[in-house]
Amino acid sequence: MSAPILPAETIEAFRRDGACVLRGYFKPWIETLRAGVARNLAEPSADVKIYQGKDGAGRFVGDYCNWDRIPEYRDFIFNSDAAAIGQQLMGTKTVRLFHEHVLVKEPGADVPTPWHQDQPYYCVDGNETVSLWIPLDAVPRERTLEFVGGSHTSGKYYRPERFNKQALNENDGLEPVPDINGNRSAFNILGWALEPGDAVAFNYLTLHGAPANKSATEQRRAFSLRLMGDNVRYARREGINTSPPFRGVTLPHGSVMDAPEFPLLAG
Ligand SMILES: O=C(O)CCC(=O)C(=O)O
């Protein structure tokens, strides 16, 4: 079957706002991805991050770069419409995999995802990028991923910080992310309630964050697929360990992302 053609308004919204909603395209893959996430949680990588909630609250578990050892992830990445959808959103000839990222907030997980841009943590520069955040559980508006519409065009890299607000590099010269939650009406905040099969797509430069999972019974599993278009280049970031670390990548700064870690999915 050929890949769906996205409506022009969806592509326009993605390029204007740096984020858009995609309805239903991933429905056939939800069980595959749930099985992959279950396998991933049972066999996490050495880079897994686990934030244990306080007083018996659920965990927030994040893991990444496991696609080459989790067959369900490989199946999705190479056989679903994700690359074709990313290609249309970015408007590029080529689509390369950057990595997949799994983010699970167990019931009651009391850790919000702070507002941030992804790119300052990443070993890439360029603006033809898209993450497809695919929830594997229904996500009501009050605990969905949110975005600052248009923030991908600010020209800024905001300071990357750990969840405890410690900068990765105090001397990076970058400005901290503004206080968005303290001043929400000053920002164009976008967010959508989502069903399994839906996704949100966003640029690596778009400011985004997510609330804690206040539900006592429902988990919030998400599979985030990071894709790169034509103008993305490898970036060595002085003074920080990038996330993901990509320890085996030896590309020179500024080069095309042509390495086995980043397979070409289209073009
Ligand atoms: O799922 C979350 O809470 C955060 C997701 C996120 O920041 C991302 O996918 O880049």
Structure confidence by residue, pLDDT tens digits, 103-140: 999 999 999 999 999 999 999 999 999 999 999 999 99
Which pLDDT value is given to residue 34? 98
**Alpha-carbon separation of residue 181 from 33, 116, 211 (angstroms):** 32, 12, 10
Return the best residue to mutate from 110, 208, 226 for the ligand 1 pocket (most ligand atoms within 8 A of CB). 208
Q: Is the pLDDT of residue 1 over 80?
A: no
- CATH class of this structure's domain 8-231: mainly beta
Q: Which two tokens stand for residue 226?
A: 């990071």
Q: What is the mean pLDDT of the segment spanning 43-61?
A: 94
pLDDT band at 2 (very low <50, low <70, confident <90, very high): confident
Tell me how far apart the alpha carbons of residues 117 and 19 are, in angstroms, rounded to a whole number: 12
**Residue 267 amino acid letter:** G
The atom of ligand 1 lying closest to the CA of 222 is 1
Q: Which residue has the tokens 């993305």?
A: 232
Q: 4, 81 in Cβ contact below 8 A?
A: yes
pLDDT band at 211 (very low <50, low <70, confident <90, very high): very high
Q: So what's the pLDDT on residue 31?
A: 98
Per domain, the residue ranges of the chain are 8-231
Ligand 1, atom 1, lies closest to the CA of 103
CA 30 to centroid of chain Cα atoms: 17
Beta strand segments in the chain, E: 19-22, 49-52, 59-64, 95-105, 113-116, 124-125, 129-135, 146-148, 189-191, 199-202, 208-210, 220-228, 233-234, 264-266
3-state secondary structure (DSSP) of residue 201: strand
Which residues have a Cβ under 8 Å from the Cβ of 186 and sit 6 or more positions away?
none
Determine the Cα–Cα distance for residues 245 and 168; give it in Å rounded to an integer.
Answer: 13
Q: Pick from 98, 113, 136, 147 the residue to mutate for probing ligand 1's pocket: most ligand atoms within 8 Å of its CB.
A: 113
Give whole-number Cα distances, 210 to 105, 136, 141, 156, 225, in Å: 10, 16, 10, 21, 17
pLDDT band for position 56 (cuts 50, 70, 90): confident
Rg of the chain's alpha carbons, rounded to an integer? 17
Ligand 1 pocket: which residues have CB below 6 Å?
Answer: 101, 103, 113, 118, 131, 133, 145, 208, 210, 222, 224
Percentage of the chain beyond pLDDT 70 is 100
Provide the sign of the torsion angle of the four alpha carbons 157, 160, 165, 167, taken in this order: negative
